[in-house]
Amino acid sequence: QKDLTKNQISGLRFYEDLQKRIPRTEVEEIAAVIDKAAKALHPEIQSQVTGSYRRGKPDCGDIDIVVARPNINDGDALFDIMEHILNELTNQDFLVDHLSWPSWCEEMGNQPKHFKYMGICKLPGDDKIHHHIDILVVPWIHHGAVLLYFTGNDISNKSMKLYASKREMRFKRQ
């Protein structure tokens, strides 16, 4: 194991749990924990589950959460939101392993940055298992586009990219 990266070791440690699908009810419990941590900083902060959950699937492979605060687009303010959420969730022992600490996503021209975190979470209780979670804190001006991108499957995202490119626009994850 000495040649494995930290993330590979985490993957092996939680392998059995991470292979299991997450029922919608458990995704909702996890989302409520994130939302409570976010709103402890400011009640206007919005957090939404995206991906297969938002597409109405009965279960999910992981949990993707998009966080934004109305009219907040500044990179420093976004980082403060992310830092607060991660500190709260780590102190609660909800986040049990950090796969990637918040990274600045590339700034595009004059567009504000957003932050992404990847980790392993677990609700309290012996009957609960570990799940992969992604938390994305985004500028309010990008909130709608980010929800669209992270909700859609790869086919719908390719269609949106094609639609945008025909109009000399960009539809990118960044």
User: In which band, very low, low, confident or very high, does the pLDDT at 27 lie, cut at 50, 70 and 90?
Assistant: very high
What are the DSSP E strand ranges found in the chain? 22-23, 46-49, 59-60, 63-68, 95-104, 115-122, 130-137
Q: In this structure, what is the dihedral angle of CA atoms 54, 114, 8, 21, given to the nearest 10 degrees?
A: -10
At 139, which helix (H) or strand (E)?
Answer: none
Q: Which domains does the chain have, with CATH numbers?
A: 6-141 (3.30.460.10)
| Nearest residue to 140 via CA among 83, 29, 66, 80 | 66
Tell me the whole-structure pTM to 2 decimals: 0.84
- Looking up tokens 């102190």 gives 91
Nearest-5° Cα angle at 13, 65 to 120: 15
At 155, which helix (H) or strand (E)?
Answer: helix 154-166
Average pLDDT over residues 94-112: 70
Looking at the chain, the number of H-run helices and the number of E-run strands are 7, 7
pLDDT in tens, 56-68: 999 999 999 999 9
pLDDT in tens, 126-138: 889 999 999 999 9
More confident residue, 19 or 9: 19
User: In which band, very low, low, confident or very high, does the pLDDT at 26 lie, cut at 50, 70 and 90?
Assistant: very high
| Helix residue ranges per DSSP H, 92-142 | none
**Residue 140: how many other CB atoms lie within 10 Å:** 17
Q: Report in angstroms the alpha-carbon separations of 85 from 119, 139, 152.
A: 13, 16, 25
How many residues are listed for the chain in this entry? 174
Tell me the C-alpha distance between 145 and 142, whole Å: 5
Average pLDDT over residues 137-164: 76
